[in-house]
């Protein structure tokens, strides 16, 4: 095990390398998971219902982006926020998140999305790691309360960093030069 640990440290770092050994000792396999957040300028019901899903070898069809994500990416939890800006935050097994990202690329309204965050983790219990229980629609202006209700202000701050909703951004005094 020492050789395996030394080899892992060389490519990952001490904390990441120690995690698999801790899981082996506990007898629990680790799950590779991820959390991603994408942001677009605005998102509303009209944009959602006019999504075009392109599939290889099949004609374009109009489908709701939200409903498509719920049906195709059932292992993913998180939210799609409607408002300005619009956010897609998804979490789950790494392969499910990668599949979600491939599905997002089929919808032109998301082609200009900015990736705000992409976190990869190895966890012993995916259910405990998750912040969200399912995939839901929310209004952008309700996000702060949503994260506060889950006691995850840290995640809210990470998602909102650099936006008009950034809690660390200083408010202007109304005087512009």
Position 9 scores a pLDDT of 40
List, for residues 86-134, the tens digit of each pLDDT value.
999 999 999 999 999 999 988 888 989 999 999 999 999 999 999 999 9
> E strands of 7-165, at which residues?
31-40, 52-53, 61-62, 77-82, 86-93, 114-123, 135-139
Q: Is the pLDDT of residue 76 over 70?
A: yes
Alpha-carbon distance of 146 to 144, in angstroms, equals: 5
pTM of the model: 0.74
Long-range Cβ contacts of 56-65 (<8 Å, 24+ apart): 65/107, 65/109, 65/110
List, for residues 32-73, the tens digit of each pLDDT value.
999 999 999 999 988 888 766 556 666 566 778 999 899 999
List, for residues 10-25, the tens digit of each pLDDT value.
444 444 444 444 444 4
Position 86 scores a pLDDT of 94
Position 15 scores a pLDDT of 43
Q: Is the pLDDT of residue 6 over 80?
A: no
């Amino acid at each position: 095990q020492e050789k395996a640990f030394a080899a892992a440290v060389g490519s990952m770092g001490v904390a990441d390398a120690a995690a698999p050994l801790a899981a082996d000792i506990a007898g629990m396999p680790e799950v590779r998971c991820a959390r991603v957040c994408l942001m677009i300028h605005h998102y509303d019901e009209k944009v959602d219902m006019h999504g075009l899903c392109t599939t290889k070898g099949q004609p374009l069809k109009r489908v709701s982006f939200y409903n498509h994500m719920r049906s195709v990416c059932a292992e993913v939890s998180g939210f799609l926020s409607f408002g300005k800006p619009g956010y897609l935050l998804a979490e789950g097994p790494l392969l499910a998140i990668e599949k979600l990202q491939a599905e997002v690329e089929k919808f032109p309204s998301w082609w200009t999305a900015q990736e705000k965050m992409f976190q990869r983790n190895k966890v012993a219990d995916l259910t405990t790691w998750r912040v969200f229980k399912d995939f839901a629609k929310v209004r952008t202006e309700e996000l702060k309360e949503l994260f506060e209700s889950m006691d995850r202000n840290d995640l809210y701050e990470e998602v909102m960093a650099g936006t008009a909703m950034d809690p660390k951004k200083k408010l202007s005094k109304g005087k512009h030069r």
